Structure 1
């Protein structure tokens, strides 16, 4: 099932299910009339779990639908319970480290000499801990936007970038999972694009701390266009992933090849910590999945399209700051 959140003509945000013929089924309206608990938002749908999905499927057999062109698609999960974003792809990590060193060196009087100092100090190397365990930071669930929404450039940002990522939506609650049962906690999958101000990020991370204003700004986290339930994704590590900017293909790759598998990542994150319905875990930017790796950045007006097999296309446009 492909689940969405949409705004209807009355301006109300509702959870829905795509029917495959260009229409959407209003889950909130249908569940308000069948004698059960109304599923009024996506968190309620996720919390209802497999039984809730079976109920929705039964209601869809005879329920009314709305044409997609009569509604506005929002982020399918408008307010994730939490956002965790991992870094699981070695090619991306190596190239991003090199790009960060280049940006830092460019700010010095002798960039070439500075780069040599960085190399001699081992700053181009991936820290051993990255190979030993999954690593992640926590994002801001209040800054989420959906498909076709505009991303507003932070006022001091010069080097804006996109990131092509597959994300897991947790069904939960679950804690202390193992690799053997980790997938039981997965409700579904979506596309995640954490837009980044790379010049700000490069400066901030000199402190060896997690990203701050380089990633933490309104409209910075794009999710969508839908959540595909776990039963429809046979192998989440074998999905074709594509990034385009203004229609030009920048990368075509797969979701496989991460340093840490999906099940190992979920199990590690759940250690001593409960995962809740609506938690979002992004698995990290795939190799060549952003402009940072080639020091190629976005201009105002650029349209970024991220496509993941079986999920769809997440499209967003970068807009200059109005202030």
Structure 2
């Protein structure tokens, strides 16, 4: 199954995507509602409605997450970043798939404009896959973890790198450096739709990102070091995962500007600027397409910062 959320004059609607088009459900029903009640039964109801052309619809983020965690699943991403800041790959990264909680209230749709965060001059993207929890659980065994995943999305963790670097001294994890926007979409794709691309504990799907039509980086989902089985099992240790919780894979190697800056600063293309168009794509899952726009001005603190 493939599910989207789209704009309607009466309010946002959820729809099932088939070869015929998009079969919508009633206004007011959200993907969170469907996850709570079961996607299969919802698909049966949706197929009874007339199909709408997908290309005619304005897409929203498929889901507004209950929580949003972002993991470090691709360890080569960290290795590539080491030249930019003092950020060595510690032994702990080889033992657990570390994560932080991101801003679930800053989720944007797959075609929305993205403003530069106030005060940032080093604005960046991160190309990821996200898993959406469909079945609740606590301390989930690794071998059963994937059974709790309802589907996958393309995910972009927008990052103000200069702010992020400044915040490292606080030792509290990312704050304003990753607070502005998180893109999800364009649709929720259930695992059965990509089962034919299974490779080990992941899927052999290409992940690519371009800026203004120029290929910048990317890789393959199958190169991930920490599978979603590990990620879900670790995230659920002593904590309940609920339907609608979203967990990012972390950045695929070369899937962000900071890696290129760290690896080859002399030939670095530069950070994102207003007017740039960024396209982030994952085979079978679709693409996010965003225009970068001017953000708000900084309102100084009493310290002047």
Superposed CA deviations along residues 21-51 of structure 1, whole A, max 9, x for unmatched, are 4x3111226xxxxxxxxx81110111122xx
**1:209 maps to which of 165, 172, 176:** 172
**TM-score normalised by structure 1 residue count:** 0.83
**Count of residues in Structure 1 that have an aligned counterpart in Structure 2:** 284
1:14 and 2:36 aligned: no
- TM (normalized to structure 2)? 0.88
Q: Does 1:292 align with 2:253?
A: no
Matched residue, 1:89: 74
Q: How does 1:1-323 map to 2 (within 5 A)?
A: 1-8=1-8, 10-21=9-20, 23-28=21-26, 40-49=29-38, 52-53=39-40, 55-77=41-63, 79-99=64-84, 101=85, 123-217=86-180, 220-234=181-195, 235=198, 236-295=202-261, 296-323=270-297
- Greater gyration radius: 1
Check the 8 A contact 1:28/1:41 in 2, yes or no: no
Counterpart position of 1:32: none
Structure 1, unpaired ranges of 5+: 30-38, 102-122
| SS, match of residue 17 in structure 1 | strand
Let me know the Cα RMSD of the aligned residues: 1.7
Q: SS of the counterpart of 2:225?
A: coil
Structure 2 unaligned spans of 5+: 262-269, 298-305
Per-residue deviation, residues 73-98 of structure 1 (Å, max 9, x unmatched): 10001x20100000121221122232
Give the 3-state SS of the residue equivalent to 2:223 in structure 1: coil
Consecutive aligned runs of 4 or more in structure 1 exceeding 6 Å deviation: none
Mapped to 1, the partners of 2:218 and 2:122 lie a distance apart of: 23
